[in-house]
Chains A and B, each alone.
Chain A
Amino acid sequence: MTNLKGKNLISITDYTKEDYLTVLDLAEKFEKNPNQPILTDKVVGSLFFEPSTRTRLSFETAANRLGARVIGFSNPSATSLQKGESLHDTIKMVSSYTDIIVMRHHKDGASRYASEVSPVPLINAGDGANQHPTQCMLDLYSIRKTQGTLENLKIAMVGDLKYGRTVHSLVQAMSNFNAEFHFVSPKSLAMPDHVKDYARNAGLKYFEYDKLEDVVPFADIIYMTRIQKERFPDLLEYEKVKNAYIMTAATLKGCKENMKVLHPLPRVNEITMDVDKTPYAYYFQQAQNGMYVRQALIASILGYADKVK
């Protein structure tokens, strides 16, 4: 078990394999016993400069179940940012009121910068197209929970592998666990070289495919992603690939029994509703796991890990 007290979480690579396992072990305790008011003397700053329902509610519920109070905003248009206040000054102010900050921002790198300005620790809840490390942590938790281990798994990733930040982080994190990666995407949305290099430098194998059906027979995890319209500079390019991968219950015929389908949500049309009824669908539980993981992160970064039962 590592000591995460005061340690910012900005990028998934800020944490080590041992740090991941510390957080996951603690999250398991919260899953068994979610209401543990151990942070009644703490205030969490929740700064959402960009709208987000799932992540914000998950973080704020996590803080509430720990007994902490939450201040912040989910709509920056009603704050002094509207008057032109800099991120620097906003963070200086909020960090003087709070014990920890959770922040989402539309600019890439905003969370790293904020963590350098803030004297209190900061958790990145998504910075533009860059990182979303708590999503990655809950993905790790979901994989370990469904497979019983994180080691030696065959992980397939499907859809938008170019712009999808969750899959990039997941490759980086799973590179600590001897994973074998199977990337399924149209050529225009292929996994970027720097991510493939990361896997290669970790001594891991990866394979690339055009068809979802090719990975179904052997994958332990199929990680589906939404083709994100907002990330496309060219809408014509989006129209060409938007329906490239649609998973139905029939697609999963012949898959391994232990296989689970994950998705960071929200889904659009890439997983049809009939998949929800199969034993392979795990995306809703995956989202729920986010709360336990965020409880574990807030408690351990504030130095309260040993108080968790």
Chain B
Amino acid sequence: MTTNNKELVVEKIDNGTVIDHIPADKVFKIVRILGLEAYEDEILIGTNLCSKKYGKKGILKIKNKYFSQDEIDKIAIICPTATIIIIKNYEVEQKKHLEIPKHIHKIVKCINPNCITNVEEIETNFDVVNNDPIQIQCHYCEKTMEEIIFNE
């Protein structure tokens, strides 16, 4: 199979976002954290596709959807190796390689049940203290954690 043939495994979209180079075991996690189960337009999901870099990779093509910075940060936290491609009229308008943010605002929940952010209505804040494996530290309770739970 040539590269061109591979691309045809998952059909092109005219407008929307492609998330490429997702490690195969993270594809459905990305679907979940972006809330795409409830998305009503077309979504093409490819997983366990051959990849030189990862062995197996996943790809998501979401029609007529452009993600906010918060959503892109969520993707970066789960799979920093992914690429975001913005498609307009079948053309690649922009390709973004992701970076784990240094600070995470609002989108993550503190895993410490005794943290004040789990009692009062407070927008959470975390510093990323390590990238691989990702470790974040709560600005309030100062706990360091590897487990990332996104706010609903």
**Do chains A and B stick together as partners?**
yes
User: Which B residues touch A113, using CB under 8 A?
Assistant: 116-117, 120, 122, 140
Q: How far is the CB of B146 from chain A (nearest CB, A)?
A: 12
Q: A108-B114, A108-B115 are in contact. Are A130 and B120 (CB under 8 A)?
A: no
User: Which A residues touch B110, using CB under 8 A?
Assistant: 109
Q: Is A86 an interface residue (CB 8 A)?
A: yes
Q: Identify whether the interface residues of B are mostly helix, strand, loop, or mixed.
A: loop
Q: How far is the CB of A122 from chain B (nearest CB, A)?
A: 14
Are B116 and A87 closer than 8 Å at their CB atoms? yes
* Selected contact of B116 from candidates A11, A107, A131, A194, CB within 8 Å: A107
Q: Is B97 an interface residue (CB 8 A)?
A: no
Are B144 and A130 closer than 8 Å at their CB atoms? no
A130 to B144, CA, bound (A): 12
Q: What does the 1/0 interface line of B82-115 toward A look like (CB < 8 Å)?
A: 0000000000000000000000000000101011
Are B140 and A109 closer than 8 Å at their CB atoms? yes
Q: How far is the CB of A287 from chain B (nearest CB, A)?
A: 25
Are A107 and B114 closer than 8 Å at their CB atoms? yes
Q: Is B141 an interface residue (CB 8 A)?
A: yes
Q: What does the 1/0 interface line of B108-143 toward A look like (CB < 8 Å)?
A: 001010111101111000000000000000111111
Q: How far is the CB of A136 from chain B (nearest CB, A)?
A: 14
User: Which A residues touch B112, using CB under 8 A?
Assistant: 108
User: Which A residues touch B117, using CB under 8 A?
Assistant: 109, 113
What is the chain A residue whose CB lies nearest that of B137? A194
Most buried by B among A107, A127, A128, A194: A107
What is the chain A residue whose CB lies nearest that of B117? A109
Q: A108-B114, A128-B114 are in contact. Are A87 and B120 (CB under 8 A)?
A: yes
Q: A107-B115, A109-B115 are in contact. Are A128 and B141 (CB under 8 A)?
A: yes
Q: How far is the CB of A151 from chain B (nearest CB, A)?
A: 27
Q: What does the 1/0 interface line of A117-137 toward B look like (CB < 8 Å)?
A: 000000000011111000000
Are A108 and B144 closer than 8 Å at their CB atoms? no
Are B116 and A108 closer than 8 Å at their CB atoms? yes
Are A194 and B122 closer than 8 Å at their CB atoms? no
Are B142 and A86 closer than 8 Å at their CB atoms? no
Q: A128-B114, A129-B114 are in contact. Are A108 and B120 (CB under 8 A)?
A: no
Give the number of residues in B that approach A within 8 Å (Cβ atoms).
Answer: 17
* Selected contact of B142 from candidates A87, A88, A107, A131, CB within 8 Å: A131
User: Which B residues touch A109, using CB under 8 A?
Assistant: 110, 115-117, 138-142
Are B142 and A130 closer than 8 Å at their CB atoms? yes
User: Which B residues touch A127, using CB under 8 A?
Assistant: 116, 141
Interface range on chain A: under 10, 10 to 19, 20 to 34, or 35 or more? 10 to 19
Are A108 and B139 closer than 8 Å at their CB atoms? no
A87 to B120, CA, bound (A): 7
Q: Is A112 an interface residue (CB 8 A)?
A: yes
Q: How far is the CB of A159 from chain B (nearest CB, A)?
A: 21
User: Which A residues touch B120, using CB under 8 A?
Assistant: 86-88, 113
Q: Is A167 an interface residue (CB 8 A)?
A: no
Are A107 and B143 closer than 8 Å at their CB atoms? no
User: Which B residues touch A110, using CB under 8 A?
Assistant: 116, 140
Most buried by B among A11, A106, A110, A131: A110
Most buried by B among A107, A109, A112, A194: A109
A11 to B139, CA, bound (A): 11
What is the chain A residue whose CB lies nearest that of B110? A109
User: Which B residues touch A11, using CB under 8 A?
Assistant: 142
Q: A86-B120, A107-B119 are in contact. Are A112 and B140 (CB under 8 A)?
A: yes
Other A-B contacts than A108-B142, A110-B116, 18 sampled, CB-CB below 8 A, are: A86-B120, A86-B121, A88-B121, A105-B116, A107-B114, A107-B116, A108-B112, A108-B115, A108-B143, A109-B115, A109-B117, A109-B138, A109-B140, A112-B139, A113-B140, A127-B141, A129-B114, A194-B144
By a beta-carbon cutoff of 8 Å, the part of chain A in contact with chain B is 11, 86-88, 105-110, 112-113, 127-131, 194
20 A-B pairs whose Cβ atoms sit less than 8 Å apart in the complex = A11-B142, A87-B116, A87-B120, A106-B114, A108-B114, A108-B115, A108-B142, A109-B115, A109-B116, A109-B138, A109-B139, A109-B140, A109-B141, A110-B116, A112-B116, A113-B117, A113-B122, A127-B141, A130-B142, A131-B142
